[in-house]
């Protein structure tokens, strides 16, 4: 329980897996990424950040899936 209250940039928290950055720093990196379209160079590598290229590929795959299902339902594809 005491480890949860430690600042993220202290050595003990880093040893336990913290990225070493505060929530405010990560929020600012997210804002930078949102405005530039690129991942911030100092963004923690082990974070669960959304990869813009991966998200775009997923969206395109879903569109292709919907189009294929529409074609199957219409009888264009058997």
Q: Sorting pLDDT into bands at 50, 70 and 90, what band is 17? A: low
Residue recorded with tokens 């189009």: 67
Determine the pLDDT at residue 55.
Answer: 84
65 and 27 inside one domain: no
How many structural domains does the chain have?
2
Q: What is the mean pLDDT of residues 36-57?
A: 77
Q: pTM of the predicted model, to two decimals?
A: 0.41
Burial class of residue 70 (count of CB atoms within 10 Å of its CB; 0-12, 13-18, 19+)? exposed
Q: Give the range of the structural domain holding residue 6, as residue numbers without chain letter.
A: 1-47
12 and 30 inside one domain: yes
Q: Sorting pLDDT into bands at 50, 70 and 90, what band is 19? A: low
Q: What is the mean pLDDT of residues 44-48?
A: 61
């Amino acid at each position: 329980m005491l480890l949860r209250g430690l600042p993220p940039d202290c050595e003990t928290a880093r040893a336990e897996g913290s990225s070493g950055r505060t929530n405010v720093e990560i929020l600012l990196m997210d804002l930078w990424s949102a405005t530039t379209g690129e991942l911030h160079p100092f963004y923690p590598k082990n974070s669960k950040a959304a990869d813009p290229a991966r998200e775009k590929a997923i969206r395109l795959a879903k569109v292709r899936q919907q189009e294929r299902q529409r074609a199957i339902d219409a009888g264009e594809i058997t």
